[in-house]
Every structure is written in C-alpha cells, then in structure tokens.
Structure 1
Amino acid sequence: MTAVPTSARRPVEGFGEVSIRPVEPDRDVEVIHDWVTRERSRFWGMRDASRERVHEIYTYLDSLTTHHAYLVHRDGRPVALFQTYEPAADPVGRCYDVRPGDFGIHLLIGPPDGGVEPGFTGVLLDAFLAFVLADPTRLRIVAEPDARNARAVDRLVRAGFVPGPLIDLPDKRARLLFLDRGAVCPAGRRPDGVTG
C-alpha cells in the first residue's frame, strides 16, 4: 500500500518551480478534462469522456490507497498529470512478475503554451522520478505506455528505462518499461542529485 499522497516543490534552475500536489477532483476536473480529451492525448484512453465521467474517475482514484493522481505545476500553472500505482493492485500486475519495491507511473504532459519548449518533458520527468524515489522503499519504477505511443516509449528509454515485453491490458496493448532505482540513484546520491 502506498503512503498517503504528499506534495512537493522543486526549483529547477532556468526552468522555474515545479510543484506536485494531489489532484482535487472538484477543483481540477476542468483542466484534466480539457487535457485528456484532446487528440494529442489519445493514448490516455479518455478522448470521448464527458466532464462528469472524468470527475467520476478521478474521484474514484482519490478514494484508493494504491493509486494516486497528481497535478503538476510550473510556476503555479498546471503543466502535467502524473499518476502512481502499486502494480500488484493493478491489472498490469497480472502481466509480469511484480517485485517488492515496484512502483508504477503514468504521465500526461499538458498542451504547451506558446509552442514546444526543448527539454520541457525531461525536466518534468526528472522531477517526477525524484518525487517517487524520495521513498526509499521504491526500488523499481514501472511504466506501461500504449505500445503505439512511440514518442512516450522513446522518451522513457532516453530517461534510462529498459524496455520489457509487450503486454495485453484490458484497454490497450502496452510496452512494459522498467527503471531500477540504482540507475537513477547511484550509491551515495539522493534522487534530487544531492550527495549524502
């Protein structure tokens, strides 16, 4: 079971402050609905979802102890949706041998304001990984993007994730990817890069 969701703030030089807080369905439904129903978010699987359905889904997620959703902000503006889950409590856990310390993530980058910004996704992914790996019991990060989403798979591989097998989930064919804690946190370093 995951710990109670927490919030985090992380200043990133040349980028601004990245903050992560739990989704509040009543407060955040408009922005989440706008993002998940766009064509660019087709692999999220909610293109045709009504506002009410999105609210229902995130209210349900908010009630779980094994799955959590977070809204990510850059200097106070929402920029991404980040979800975490315990693989043993998720359909993905029936598709591979779950290890103690496995921890799953989903990531949706919101639509860009003013065009594409080089390095934007990488900075956010680094912040997410630091947030997740702040808990020392999380030993391996698991991701399972839609297998057709080559951009997501490529981005995760560039971040150090190792591709695993293709798996069939109820709503998609997915590519399993794994990132061992040691690949992100070499001995003596914390996820935020501080030694100690």
Structure 2
Amino acid sequence: MSVTIRPVVPAEDAALLHAWVSAPRAAFWGMADHSVEDVAHVYTYIAEQEHLAAYLFELDGHPVGLLQTYDPAVDEIGEWYERRTGDVGVHLLLADDHRRAGRTPEVIAAGMDFVAHLPGCLRIVFEPDARNAASVGLMERLGAARGPLVDLRTSIAEKPAQFFFLDRERALEVARGLRPVSP
C-alpha cells in the first residue's frame, strides 16, 4: 500500500476532477459552476504553463487528491506577500473518498516530500481561504508559520487569504513522520 503522485492528464482526469471541485465541500476551490469541459480547459492551461503544475495523489492506484504547484515569482499570487527565492506555492484538495479514511497523514506526508524535493524548493507557500477552517487547521497541524491575512484579488480568485509558510526542513520532517500530522 503506497501513495504515489502523478501529473494530471486533463483529457483523462477532467471528469474525476470535476466531481471533486464541484462538490459542496470544495466550495473554497471556486469551481462549483464549472462543467467537465471547463475543468479540462483549466487543467490543460495549467499543463501548458511552465510555472504551474497539477498532480493527482493516488493511494494504491486510486486517486484521492489534487496537488497544484505554482511559482510565486511568476504567478500573480506572489504579489500579495513578501516572496523569497525558493518559494513554491501549493494548492491542495483532498477527495471525500473512503479509501483515504485513516490515511490522510500518509497522503499529506507524500505531498510534503514531493514538493520539498522540487528543484530549488526552500519554502512552501499556502494561501487557503481564511474561512476554510479545515485548511487553516491543517496548516496549523503541519507546523506552518502563519503569514499575512490579505484580501486576495487575482484574475481567478477573490478571497480572504491566510498565508502560511513551511520551510523545506519542516516539510521533510512531516514527510519522514518526525512530527506526524493528525487527520
């Protein structure tokens, strides 16, 4: 039993991603009104950009979550906080899937290991919607440092964003299970 991470294949994964991002529990993802075709278009665009990437978490071959990365030096989100060399921005969406039950820490650990090993990564940047108590709570359990709370307005999102920062060493501790993440 293992967690793997693979790139999103928009044409093949759009229906699955649509089911996740249009679910009520994913309201903070901002894609509730998107069609399957819209989702395919969004992830095709992401795949075409050098500074963006999207990946699926798979538990024993079954998709259970979405990990997106961005380069804050290029992405407009980077204009909303004090960027540093080596920052990697992350968006995370975990599926409401029974196969993930009891294994969320394993999934999160795999994601932290993956991102921490991206070339040049020195710090992971998160900016969940401040009203999303589950995401904010996860950041706190990870031991991420709380950054600024901003009224984020970009071409694709408007939200009260609570920035969090996780240095590479802390991400690797999570990945090694030295400071496990509770579910």
TM-score calculated relative to the size of structure 2: 0.88
Mark the runs of 5 or more structure 1 residues left unpaired by the alignment.
1-15
1:25 Cα deviation (Å)?
0.3
Match of 2:136 in 1: 153
Partner secondary structure for residue 125 of structure 1: helix
Q: Which residue of 166, 174, 179 corresponds with 1:179?
A: 166
Deviation track 1:47-79 (CA, whole Å, cap 9, x = no partner) reads 111111111100000000101000111001110
Partner secondary structure for residue 177 of structure 1: strand
Match of 2:96 in 1: 111
Match of 1:3 in 2: none
Partner Cα separation in structure 2 for residue 25 and residue 166 of structure 1: 32
Match of 2:82 in 1: 97
Mark the runs of 5 or more structure 2 residues left unpaired by the alignment.
178-183
Identity of aligned residues (%): 44
Q: Partner letter of residue 168 of structure 1?
A: D
Partner Cα separation in structure 2 for residue 137 and residue 192 of structure 1: 20
Checking the alignment, whether the CA contact within 8 Å between 1:18 and 1:73 is kept in structure 2 is yes
Partner Cα separation in structure 2 for residue 104 and residue 150 of structure 1: 20
Aligned residue pair count: 174
Checking the alignment, whether the CA contact within 8 Å between 1:91 and 1:169 is kept in structure 2 is no
Checking the alignment, whether the CA contact within 8 Å between 1:72 and 1:82 is kept in structure 2 is yes
Deviation track 1:23-63 (CA, whole Å, cap 9, x = no partner) reads 00001011000000000100100011111111110000000
Partner Cα separation in structure 1 for residue 122 and residue 6 of structure 2: 22
1:136 Cα deviation (Å)?
5.7
State the structure with more CA Rg: 1
The 4+ residue runs of structure 1 with deviation greater than 4 A are none
Q: Which residue of 153, 169, 175 corresponds with 2:152?
A: 169
Q: Equivalent residues in 2 for 1:8-157 (5 A)?
A: 16-113=1-98, 117-118=101-102, 120-135=103-118, 137-157=120-140
- Which is richer in helix? 2
